[in-house]
Amino acid sequence: MDALINGFALVLTLDTMLVIIAASLFGIFVGAVPGLTATMAVALLVPVTFYMDTTPAIAAIVSTSAMAIFAGDIPGTYLNIPGTPASAAYVTESYSLAKKGRAREVLGINLVCSVFGGIFGTVILIVVAQSLAEVALQFSAFEYFWLAVLGLSCSIFISIGSKTKAFLSLLFGILLSTVGLDMMSGAPRFTFGVPDLMAGVNFIPVMIGMFALNELMNYYSSKSEKKTINIVATDSVFHNVPKHTKRYWRNMLRGSSIGTLIGALPGAGADIAAWIAYAVGKSRSKDKAKYGTGHIEGIVDASSANNSGLSGAWVPALVFGIPGDSITAIVIGVLYMKGMNPGPTIFMDGSGLIYALFIVFIIANLMMLPIGYMAIRLSKFFILTPSRVLMPVILCFCIVGAFAINNSIVDVWIMLVIGLVAYVLAVNGFPMAPAILGLVLGSTVENNFMSAMLRTGGDLTSFFARPISAGLGIAVIVLWCSPLLVKAYRYQQSRSARASS
Protein backbone atom coordinates (compact mmCIF):
# COMPACT_ATOMS: atom_id res chain seq x y z
CA MET A 1 0.00 0.00 0.00
CA ASP A 2 2.87 2.37 0.79
CA ALA A 3 4.31 1.77 -2.68
CA LEU A 4 0.92 2.61 -4.26
CA ILE A 5 0.67 5.84 -2.26
CA ASN A 6 4.23 6.71 -3.29
CA GLY A 7 3.22 6.05 -6.90
CA PHE A 8 0.36 8.54 -6.70
CA ALA A 9 2.67 11.04 -4.99
CA LEU A 10 5.17 10.72 -7.84
CA VAL A 11 2.56 11.27 -10.57
CA LEU A 12 0.16 13.78 -9.04
CA THR A 13 2.58 16.67 -9.02
CA LEU A 14 2.32 19.84 -11.06
CA ASP A 15 5.53 19.11 -12.95
CA THR A 16 4.52 15.58 -13.98
CA MET A 17 1.00 16.59 -14.99
CA LEU A 18 2.34 19.47 -17.11
CA VAL A 19 4.80 17.07 -18.73
CA ILE A 20 1.96 14.66 -19.54
CA ILE A 21 -0.12 17.44 -21.13
CA ALA A 22 2.83 18.85 -23.12
CA ALA A 23 3.93 15.37 -24.27
CA SER A 24 0.35 14.53 -25.27
CA LEU A 25 0.12 17.63 -27.46
CA PHE A 26 3.53 16.84 -28.95
CA GLY A 27 2.47 13.25 -29.65
CA ILE A 28 -0.80 14.36 -31.27
CA PHE A 29 1.04 16.82 -33.50
CA VAL A 30 3.76 14.40 -34.63
CA GLY A 31 1.33 11.53 -35.15
CA ALA A 32 -1.04 13.68 -37.23
CA VAL A 33 1.66 14.90 -39.61
CA PRO A 34 2.05 12.31 -42.38
CA GLY A 35 5.53 10.77 -42.45
CA LEU A 36 6.36 11.34 -38.78
CA THR A 37 5.99 8.14 -36.74
CA ALA A 38 5.34 7.48 -33.04
CA THR A 39 8.82 5.99 -32.68
CA MET A 40 10.33 9.08 -34.25
CA ALA A 41 8.40 11.25 -31.76
CA VAL A 42 9.75 9.22 -28.83
CA ALA A 43 13.30 9.24 -30.23
CA LEU A 44 13.22 13.03 -30.52
CA LEU A 45 11.91 13.26 -26.97
CA VAL A 46 14.74 11.28 -25.38
CA PRO A 47 17.30 14.12 -25.18
CA VAL A 48 14.67 16.24 -23.40
CA THR A 49 13.96 13.46 -20.86
CA PHE A 50 17.68 13.48 -20.02
CA TYR A 51 17.03 16.61 -17.95
CA MET A 52 13.92 15.24 -16.20
CA ASP A 53 13.43 13.04 -13.16
CA THR A 54 12.57 9.42 -13.86
CA THR A 55 8.77 9.66 -13.42
CA PRO A 56 8.21 12.68 -15.70
CA ALA A 57 10.60 11.16 -18.24
CA ILE A 58 8.63 7.90 -18.40
CA ALA A 59 5.34 9.84 -18.35
CA ALA A 60 6.48 11.88 -21.35
CA ILE A 61 7.30 8.76 -23.36
CA VAL A 62 4.07 6.95 -22.47
CA SER A 63 1.90 9.99 -23.27
CA THR A 64 3.68 10.79 -26.52
CA SER A 65 3.52 7.24 -27.88
CA ALA A 66 -0.17 6.71 -26.97
CA MET A 67 -1.25 10.02 -28.53
CA ALA A 68 0.87 9.58 -31.64
CA ILE A 69 -0.59 6.14 -32.37
CA PHE A 70 -4.13 7.54 -32.25
CA ALA A 71 -3.24 10.71 -34.16
CA GLY A 72 -1.94 8.59 -37.03
CA ASP A 73 -5.60 7.91 -37.83
CA ILE A 74 -6.25 11.58 -38.69
CA PRO A 75 -4.28 11.86 -41.97
CA GLY A 76 -5.32 8.30 -42.78
CA THR A 77 -8.96 9.35 -42.63
CA TYR A 78 -8.65 12.64 -44.52
CA LEU A 79 -5.82 11.89 -46.98
CA ASN A 80 -5.69 8.08 -47.21
CA ILE A 81 -2.12 8.43 -45.86
CA PRO A 82 -1.61 6.70 -42.49
CA GLY A 83 0.20 9.00 -40.07
CA THR A 84 1.90 6.00 -38.42
CA PRO A 85 2.36 2.38 -39.62
CA ALA A 86 -0.09 1.25 -36.93
CA SER A 87 -2.93 3.01 -38.81
CA ALA A 88 -2.17 1.42 -42.17
CA ALA A 89 -4.29 -1.72 -41.59
CA TYR A 90 -7.64 0.10 -41.71
CA VAL A 91 -6.83 3.26 -43.66
CA THR A 92 -8.96 2.10 -46.61
CA GLU A 93 -12.01 1.72 -44.37
CA SER A 94 -11.45 5.14 -42.78
CA TYR A 95 -10.92 6.99 -46.05
CA SER A 96 -13.88 5.32 -47.75
CA LEU A 97 -16.18 6.41 -44.92
CA ALA A 98 -14.66 9.91 -44.90
CA LYS A 99 -15.54 10.32 -48.61
CA LYS A 100 -19.15 9.67 -47.59
CA GLY A 101 -19.02 12.62 -45.17
CA ARG A 102 -18.41 10.50 -42.04
CA ALA A 103 -14.80 11.54 -41.25
CA ARG A 104 -15.48 12.78 -37.73
CA GLU A 105 -17.66 9.77 -36.97
CA VAL A 106 -14.73 7.51 -37.99
CA LEU A 107 -12.24 9.46 -35.88
CA GLY A 108 -14.68 9.43 -32.95
CA ILE A 109 -14.87 5.62 -32.94
CA ASN A 110 -11.08 5.50 -33.50
CA LEU A 111 -10.59 7.66 -30.43
CA VAL A 112 -12.90 5.64 -28.17
CA CYS A 113 -11.42 2.32 -29.32
CA SER A 114 -7.89 3.64 -28.78
CA VAL A 115 -8.74 4.72 -25.22
CA PHE A 116 -10.46 1.38 -24.52
CA GLY A 117 -7.55 -0.61 -25.98
CA GLY A 118 -4.98 1.42 -24.07
CA ILE A 119 -6.73 0.95 -20.73
CA PHE A 120 -7.40 -2.75 -21.45
CA GLY A 121 -3.70 -3.30 -22.16
CA THR A 122 -2.75 -1.38 -19.02
CA VAL A 123 -5.00 -3.56 -16.85
CA ILE A 124 -3.37 -6.67 -18.33
CA LEU A 125 0.04 -5.10 -17.74
CA ILE A 126 -0.82 -4.46 -14.07
CA VAL A 127 -2.20 -7.97 -13.50
CA VAL A 128 0.37 -9.98 -15.45
CA ALA A 129 3.60 -8.07 -14.89
CA GLN A 130 3.55 -8.39 -11.12
CA SER A 131 3.02 -12.18 -11.27
CA LEU A 132 5.64 -12.66 -13.98
CA ALA A 133 8.13 -10.62 -11.97
CA GLU A 134 7.84 -13.04 -9.05
CA VAL A 135 8.61 -15.92 -11.43
CA ALA A 136 11.44 -13.98 -13.05
CA LEU A 137 13.17 -13.59 -9.68
CA GLN A 138 13.96 -17.31 -9.88
CA PHE A 139 15.73 -16.87 -13.23
CA SER A 140 19.48 -17.37 -13.58
CA ALA A 141 21.87 -16.83 -16.49
CA PHE A 142 20.52 -19.97 -18.21
CA GLU A 143 16.91 -18.72 -18.31
CA TYR A 144 17.89 -15.18 -19.34
CA PHE A 145 20.06 -16.58 -22.14
CA TRP A 146 17.20 -18.61 -23.61
CA LEU A 147 14.72 -15.77 -23.08
CA ALA A 148 16.94 -13.36 -24.99
CA VAL A 149 17.46 -15.91 -27.78
CA LEU A 150 13.69 -16.45 -27.91
CA GLY A 151 13.17 -12.67 -28.23
CA LEU A 152 15.71 -12.44 -31.06
CA SER A 153 14.13 -15.41 -32.84
CA CYS A 154 10.61 -13.94 -32.51
CA SER A 155 11.79 -10.68 -34.08
CA ILE A 156 12.62 -12.63 -37.26
CA PHE A 157 9.62 -14.94 -37.44
CA ILE A 158 7.10 -12.17 -36.66
CA SER A 159 8.55 -9.56 -39.02
CA ILE A 160 6.64 -8.74 -42.19
CA GLY A 161 8.42 -9.48 -45.46
CA SER A 162 11.61 -11.42 -46.15
CA LYS A 163 12.86 -13.48 -43.20
CA THR A 164 16.35 -13.43 -44.69
CA LYS A 165 16.41 -9.65 -44.62
CA ALA A 166 15.06 -9.70 -41.06
CA PHE A 167 17.89 -12.09 -40.09
CA LEU A 168 20.52 -9.85 -41.70
CA SER A 169 19.02 -6.84 -39.94
CA LEU A 170 19.30 -8.76 -36.66
CA LEU A 171 22.96 -9.53 -37.35
CA PHE A 172 23.61 -5.83 -37.93
CA GLY A 173 22.15 -5.04 -34.51
CA ILE A 174 24.17 -7.82 -32.84
CA LEU A 175 27.32 -6.51 -34.54
CA LEU A 176 26.68 -3.08 -33.01
CA SER A 177 26.22 -4.68 -29.58
CA THR A 178 29.73 -6.22 -29.77
CA VAL A 179 31.44 -2.82 -29.96
CA GLY A 180 33.38 -1.99 -26.78
CA LEU A 181 35.47 -3.89 -24.25
CA ASP A 182 35.14 -7.67 -24.23
CA MET A 183 33.57 -8.78 -20.94
CA MET A 184 35.95 -11.71 -20.42
CA SER A 185 39.30 -10.54 -21.75
CA GLY A 186 38.91 -6.78 -21.45
CA ALA A 187 40.21 -6.40 -25.01
CA PRO A 188 38.64 -3.65 -27.15
CA ARG A 189 36.43 -4.80 -30.05
CA PHE A 190 35.64 -2.65 -33.12
CA THR A 191 36.58 0.55 -31.26
CA PHE A 192 39.12 1.68 -33.93
CA GLY A 193 41.12 3.46 -31.25
CA VAL A 194 38.22 5.76 -30.30
CA PRO A 195 38.06 6.03 -26.46
CA ASP A 196 34.33 6.94 -26.54
CA LEU A 197 33.55 3.50 -27.98
CA MET A 198 35.23 1.57 -25.15
CA ALA A 199 31.93 1.44 -23.22
CA GLY A 200 30.03 0.34 -26.33
CA VAL A 201 27.65 2.10 -28.69
CA ASN A 202 25.24 4.41 -26.90
CA PHE A 203 21.59 3.36 -27.45
CA ILE A 204 20.17 6.86 -27.77
CA PRO A 205 22.17 8.18 -30.79
CA VAL A 206 21.49 4.86 -32.53
CA MET A 207 17.74 5.20 -31.89
CA ILE A 208 17.71 8.81 -33.12
CA GLY A 209 19.64 7.81 -36.23
CA MET A 210 17.47 4.78 -36.99
CA PHE A 211 14.08 6.34 -36.46
CA ALA A 212 14.41 10.13 -36.83
CA LEU A 213 17.28 10.72 -39.26
CA ASN A 214 16.21 7.73 -41.35
CA GLU A 215 12.69 9.15 -41.75
CA LEU A 216 14.11 12.57 -42.53
CA MET A 217 16.30 11.22 -45.34
CA ASN A 218 13.38 9.17 -46.60
CA TYR A 219 11.31 12.37 -46.82
CA TYR A 220 13.94 14.29 -48.81
CA SER A 221 14.50 11.37 -51.17
CA SER A 222 10.79 11.11 -51.99
CA LYS A 223 8.74 13.37 -54.22
CA SER A 224 7.67 16.76 -52.93
CA GLU A 225 4.63 16.73 -50.72
CA LYS A 226 1.26 17.75 -52.03
CA LYS A 227 -1.44 17.66 -49.41
CA THR A 228 -4.96 18.80 -50.18
CA ILE A 229 -8.08 17.84 -48.27
CA ASN A 230 -11.09 17.03 -50.40
CA ILE A 231 -13.10 15.59 -47.52
CA VAL A 232 -15.97 17.64 -46.13
CA ALA A 233 -16.47 16.90 -42.42
CA THR A 234 -19.64 18.28 -40.91
CA ASP A 235 -20.78 15.27 -38.88
CA SER A 236 -20.52 14.83 -35.11
CA VAL A 237 -17.51 13.21 -33.41
CA PHE A 238 -19.29 11.24 -30.69
CA HIS A 239 -22.95 11.12 -31.83
CA ASN A 240 -22.80 7.57 -33.27
CA VAL A 241 -20.14 6.18 -30.94
CA PRO A 242 -22.62 4.62 -28.42
CA LYS A 243 -24.38 2.81 -31.29
CA HIS A 244 -21.13 1.40 -32.69
CA THR A 245 -19.68 0.39 -29.31
CA LYS A 246 -22.94 -1.36 -28.37
CA ARG A 247 -22.92 -3.30 -31.64
CA TYR A 248 -19.18 -4.07 -31.79
CA TRP A 249 -18.18 -4.42 -28.13
CA ARG A 250 -16.99 -7.99 -28.77
CA ASN A 251 -14.71 -6.66 -31.52
CA MET A 252 -13.25 -4.13 -29.08
CA LEU A 253 -12.52 -6.87 -26.55
CA ARG A 254 -11.10 -9.22 -29.18
CA GLY A 255 -8.96 -6.51 -30.81
CA SER A 256 -7.62 -5.36 -27.45
CA SER A 257 -6.79 -8.94 -26.42
CA ILE A 258 -4.97 -9.62 -29.69
CA GLY A 259 -3.15 -6.30 -29.46
CA THR A 260 -1.93 -6.97 -25.92
CA LEU A 261 -0.80 -10.48 -26.79
CA ILE A 262 0.98 -9.50 -30.00
CA GLY A 263 2.46 -6.40 -28.37
CA ALA A 264 4.09 -8.55 -25.70
CA LEU A 265 6.04 -10.49 -28.35
CA PRO A 266 9.52 -9.04 -28.86
CA GLY A 267 9.84 -7.12 -32.11
CA ALA A 268 6.12 -7.21 -32.97
CA GLY A 269 4.70 -3.78 -32.09
CA ALA A 270 1.41 -1.99 -32.64
CA ASP A 271 1.42 -2.11 -36.45
CA ILE A 272 1.61 -5.92 -36.61
CA ALA A 273 -1.03 -6.14 -33.86
CA ALA A 274 -3.37 -3.92 -35.92
CA TRP A 275 -2.89 -6.00 -39.09
CA ILE A 276 -3.54 -9.29 -37.27
CA ALA A 277 -6.60 -7.91 -35.44
CA TYR A 278 -7.99 -6.59 -38.74
CA ALA A 279 -7.45 -9.98 -40.44
CA VAL A 280 -9.01 -11.91 -37.55
CA GLY A 281 -11.96 -9.49 -37.41
CA LYS A 282 -12.57 -9.89 -41.14
CA SER A 283 -12.36 -13.69 -41.01
CA ARG A 284 -15.00 -13.83 -38.24
CA SER A 285 -17.28 -11.11 -39.55
CA LYS A 286 -20.77 -11.77 -40.94
CA ASP A 287 -20.23 -8.86 -43.34
CA LYS A 288 -16.96 -9.82 -45.02
CA ALA A 289 -18.06 -8.30 -48.31
CA LYS A 290 -18.25 -4.84 -46.73
CA TYR A 291 -14.57 -4.86 -45.76
CA GLY A 292 -12.55 -2.53 -47.96
CA THR A 293 -15.56 -0.40 -48.87
CA GLY A 294 -15.75 1.57 -45.61
CA HIS A 295 -16.87 -0.63 -42.72
CA ILE A 296 -16.81 0.44 -39.09
CA GLU A 297 -16.31 -3.14 -37.85
CA GLY A 298 -12.83 -3.35 -39.41
CA ILE A 299 -11.84 -0.06 -37.79
CA VAL A 300 -13.00 -1.17 -34.32
CA ASP A 301 -10.87 -4.34 -34.26
CA ALA A 302 -7.65 -2.78 -35.49
CA SER A 303 -7.79 0.57 -33.69
CA SER A 304 -8.42 -1.22 -30.38
CA ALA A 305 -5.43 -3.47 -31.08
CA ASN A 306 -2.81 -0.85 -31.88
CA ASN A 307 -3.13 1.06 -28.60
CA SER A 308 -3.43 -2.09 -26.46
CA GLY A 309 -0.29 -3.34 -28.22
CA LEU A 310 1.61 -0.37 -26.82
CA SER A 311 0.78 -1.41 -23.25
CA GLY A 312 1.46 -5.08 -23.99
CA ALA A 313 4.95 -4.23 -25.23
CA TRP A 314 5.82 -2.99 -21.73
CA VAL A 315 5.28 -6.43 -20.16
CA PRO A 316 8.54 -8.07 -21.38
CA ALA A 317 10.37 -4.74 -21.16
CA LEU A 318 9.61 -4.25 -17.47
CA VAL A 319 9.71 -7.87 -16.32
CA PHE A 320 12.67 -9.23 -18.31
CA GLY A 321 14.33 -6.14 -19.78
CA ILE A 322 13.42 -7.38 -23.27
CA PRO A 323 11.74 -4.72 -25.45
CA GLY A 324 8.40 -5.58 -27.02
CA ASP A 325 8.79 -2.95 -29.75
CA SER A 326 11.04 -0.10 -30.85
CA ILE A 327 9.42 2.33 -28.40
CA THR A 328 10.10 0.14 -25.36
CA ALA A 329 13.63 -0.38 -26.70
CA ILE A 330 14.07 3.37 -26.35
CA VAL A 331 12.46 3.22 -22.90
CA ILE A 332 15.00 0.63 -21.77
CA GLY A 333 17.76 2.99 -22.92
CA VAL A 334 16.16 5.82 -20.92
CA LEU A 335 15.86 3.63 -17.81
CA TYR A 336 19.55 2.71 -18.05
CA MET A 337 20.32 6.40 -18.53
CA LYS A 338 18.47 7.08 -15.27
CA GLY A 339 20.49 4.42 -13.46
CA MET A 340 17.70 1.84 -13.37
CA ASN A 341 17.90 -1.76 -14.57
CA PRO A 342 14.64 -3.02 -16.09
CA GLY A 343 13.81 -6.47 -14.76
CA PRO A 344 11.96 -8.14 -11.89
CA THR A 345 13.78 -6.14 -9.21
CA ILE A 346 12.10 -2.97 -10.47
CA PHE A 347 8.90 -4.33 -8.84
CA MET A 348 10.59 -4.85 -5.49
CA ASP A 349 12.32 -1.53 -4.86
CA GLY A 350 9.36 -0.14 -2.88
CA SER A 351 9.84 3.36 -4.30
CA GLY A 352 6.43 3.29 -5.97
CA LEU A 353 7.94 3.90 -9.42
CA ILE A 354 6.22 0.89 -10.95
CA TYR A 355 2.84 2.03 -9.62
CA ALA A 356 3.60 5.52 -10.91
CA LEU A 357 4.11 3.98 -14.34
CA PHE A 358 0.74 2.19 -14.17
CA ILE A 359 -1.00 5.41 -13.07
CA VAL A 360 0.65 7.34 -15.90
CA PHE A 361 -0.65 4.81 -18.42
CA ILE A 362 -4.22 5.22 -17.16
CA ILE A 363 -4.02 9.04 -17.01
CA ALA A 364 -2.46 9.28 -20.48
CA ASN A 365 -5.18 7.10 -22.01
CA LEU A 366 -7.98 9.01 -20.25
CA MET A 367 -6.52 12.34 -21.34
CA MET A 368 -6.62 11.07 -24.89
CA LEU A 369 -10.39 11.69 -24.94
CA PRO A 370 -10.39 15.50 -24.52
CA ILE A 371 -7.08 16.08 -26.32
CA GLY A 372 -8.06 13.69 -29.11
CA TYR A 373 -11.41 15.43 -29.50
CA MET A 374 -9.62 18.77 -29.78
CA ALA A 375 -7.24 17.28 -32.36
CA ILE A 376 -10.15 15.98 -34.44
CA ARG A 377 -11.71 19.44 -34.50
CA LEU A 378 -8.36 20.96 -35.55
CA SER A 379 -7.47 18.20 -38.01
CA LYS A 380 -6.80 20.46 -40.98
CA PHE A 381 -4.20 22.46 -39.06
CA PHE A 382 -2.18 19.34 -38.26
CA ILE A 383 -2.51 17.74 -41.67
CA LEU A 384 -1.65 20.78 -43.75
CA THR A 385 1.44 21.72 -41.72
CA PRO A 386 4.16 21.62 -44.40
CA SER A 387 6.75 18.94 -43.62
CA ARG A 388 9.45 20.96 -45.42
CA VAL A 389 9.21 23.45 -42.53
CA LEU A 390 9.40 20.74 -39.86
CA MET A 391 12.24 18.65 -41.27
CA PRO A 392 15.11 21.16 -40.74
CA VAL A 393 13.90 21.64 -37.16
CA ILE A 394 13.85 17.86 -36.67
CA LEU A 395 17.41 17.62 -38.05
CA CYS A 396 18.56 20.20 -35.48
CA PHE A 397 16.81 18.20 -32.72
CA CYS A 398 18.59 15.04 -33.91
CA ILE A 399 22.06 16.61 -33.79
CA VAL A 400 21.55 18.47 -30.51
CA GLY A 401 19.87 15.45 -28.93
CA ALA A 402 22.65 13.04 -29.90
CA PHE A 403 25.32 15.45 -28.62
CA ALA A 404 23.55 16.37 -25.37
CA ILE A 405 23.53 12.82 -23.92
CA ASN A 406 27.29 12.70 -23.25
CA ASN A 407 28.45 16.03 -24.72
CA SER A 408 30.35 13.92 -27.24
CA ILE A 409 30.80 14.63 -30.94
CA VAL A 410 31.35 10.87 -31.41
CA ASP A 411 27.68 10.29 -30.57
CA VAL A 412 26.72 12.73 -33.35
CA TRP A 413 28.84 10.78 -35.83
CA ILE A 414 27.28 7.53 -34.61
CA MET A 415 23.81 9.02 -35.14
CA LEU A 416 24.71 10.21 -38.66
CA VAL A 417 26.33 6.93 -39.74
CA ILE A 418 23.56 4.76 -38.25
CA GLY A 419 20.92 7.01 -39.83
CA LEU A 420 22.55 6.59 -43.26
CA VAL A 421 22.87 2.80 -42.85
CA ALA A 422 19.26 2.56 -41.60
CA TYR A 423 18.06 4.56 -44.61
CA VAL A 424 19.88 2.24 -47.04
CA LEU A 425 18.47 -0.79 -45.23
CA ALA A 426 14.92 0.62 -45.13
CA VAL A 427 14.75 1.53 -48.84
CA ASN A 428 15.86 -2.03 -49.64
CA GLY A 429 13.14 -3.59 -47.50
CA PHE A 430 15.12 -4.50 -44.38
CA PRO A 431 12.97 -4.20 -41.20
CA MET A 432 14.41 -2.10 -38.37
CA ALA A 433 12.88 -3.95 -35.40
CA PRO A 434 15.29 -6.96 -35.54
CA ALA A 435 18.28 -4.59 -35.62
CA ILE A 436 17.03 -2.83 -32.49
CA LEU A 437 16.41 -6.15 -30.73
CA GLY A 438 19.89 -7.28 -31.75
CA LEU A 439 21.48 -4.15 -30.31
CA VAL A 440 19.53 -4.32 -27.04
CA LEU A 441 19.71 -8.09 -26.49
CA GLY A 442 23.08 -8.92 -28.08
CA SER A 443 25.03 -8.15 -24.92
CA THR A 444 22.41 -9.97 -22.80
CA VAL A 445 22.89 -13.15 -24.83
CA GLU A 446 26.68 -12.91 -24.74
CA ASN A 447 27.03 -12.00 -21.05
CA ASN A 448 24.62 -14.67 -19.83
CA PHE A 449 26.16 -17.33 -22.08
CA MET A 450 29.67 -16.57 -20.85
CA SER A 451 28.51 -16.38 -17.25
CA ALA A 452 26.81 -19.79 -17.56
CA MET A 453 29.88 -21.31 -19.21
CA LEU A 454 32.15 -20.09 -16.43
CA ARG A 455 29.78 -21.44 -13.78
CA THR A 456 29.53 -24.92 -15.31
CA GLY A 457 33.05 -25.28 -16.72
CA GLY A 458 31.85 -25.21 -20.34
CA ASP A 459 29.12 -27.83 -20.00
CA LEU A 460 26.51 -27.01 -22.70
CA THR A 461 24.01 -29.55 -21.32
CA SER A 462 23.59 -27.33 -18.26
CA PHE A 463 21.35 -25.08 -20.41
CA PHE A 464 18.76 -27.88 -20.21
CA ALA A 465 19.36 -28.90 -16.58
CA ARG A 466 16.81 -26.55 -14.95
CA PRO A 467 13.06 -26.96 -15.71
CA ILE A 468 12.31 -23.41 -16.89
CA SER A 469 15.59 -23.19 -18.80
CA ALA A 470 14.87 -26.52 -20.51
CA GLY A 471 11.32 -25.38 -21.38
CA LEU A 472 12.58 -22.13 -22.90
CA GLY A 473 15.34 -23.97 -24.77
CA ILE A 474 12.86 -26.44 -26.26
CA ALA A 475 10.56 -23.55 -27.22
CA VAL A 476 13.43 -21.87 -29.08
CA ILE A 477 14.37 -25.08 -30.91
CA VAL A 478 10.74 -25.73 -31.87
CA LEU A 479 10.47 -22.15 -33.16
CA TRP A 480 13.60 -22.59 -35.27
CA CYS A 481 12.27 -25.85 -36.68
CA SER A 482 8.72 -24.57 -37.22
CA PRO A 483 9.15 -23.76 -40.97
CA LEU A 484 10.32 -27.34 -41.59
CA LEU A 485 7.52 -28.76 -39.43
CA VAL A 486 4.91 -26.69 -41.30
CA LYS A 487 6.30 -27.82 -44.67
CA ALA A 488 6.31 -31.45 -43.55
CA TYR A 489 2.73 -31.15 -42.30
CA ARG A 490 1.53 -29.58 -45.57
CA TYR A 491 3.37 -32.21 -47.60
CA GLN A 492 1.72 -34.96 -45.56
CA GLN A 493 -1.69 -33.32 -45.99
CA SER A 494 -1.32 -33.00 -49.76
CA ARG A 495 -0.05 -36.60 -49.99
CA SER A 496 -3.07 -37.84 -48.02
CA ALA A 497 -5.39 -35.80 -50.26
CA ARG A 498 -3.86 -37.28 -53.42
CA ALA A 499 -4.08 -40.78 -51.99
CA SER A 500 -7.77 -40.40 -51.06
CA SER A 501 -8.62 -38.98 -54.51
Question: Looking at 268-282, 361-375, 437-451, which range is the least confident one?
Answer: 268-282
Rounded to 5°, the CA angle 404-407-411 comes to 80
- Report the alpha-carbon distance of residue 462 to residue 49 in Å, rounded: 42
Question: Looking at 256-265, 346-355, 448-457, which range is the least confident one?
Answer: 346-355
Task: Tell me the average pLDDT across 425-441.
Answer: 84
Instruction: Give pLDDT tens digits for 5-50.
Output: 777 777 788 888 898 899 888 888 887 776 667 777 887 787 788 7
For CA atoms 123, 126, 131, 135, give the dihedral sign: positive
Share of the chain above pLDDT 70, in %: 91
Nearest by Cα to 394 from 57, 71, 37, 58: 37
pLDDT for the residue 147: 83
pLDDT for the residue 239: 83
Beta bridge partners of residue 189, listed in sequence order: 180
Residue 141: pLDDT band (50, 70, 90) is: confident
Instruction: Give pLDDT tens digits for 47-68.
Output: 788 788 888 888 888 888 888 8
Instruction: Give pLDDT tens digits for 188-213.
Output: 888 888 888 888 887 778 878 887 78
Residue 171: pLDDT band (50, 70, 90) is: very high
Q: What is the pTM of this model?
A: 0.75
- Report the alpha-carbon distance of residue 4 to residue 280 in Å, rounded: 38
Distance of alpha carbon 193 from its chain centroid, rounded?
Answer: 35
Spatial neighbors of 124 by CB under 8 A, at least 6 apart, are: 260, 308, 311, 312, 315
Residue 389: pLDDT band (50, 70, 90) is: confident
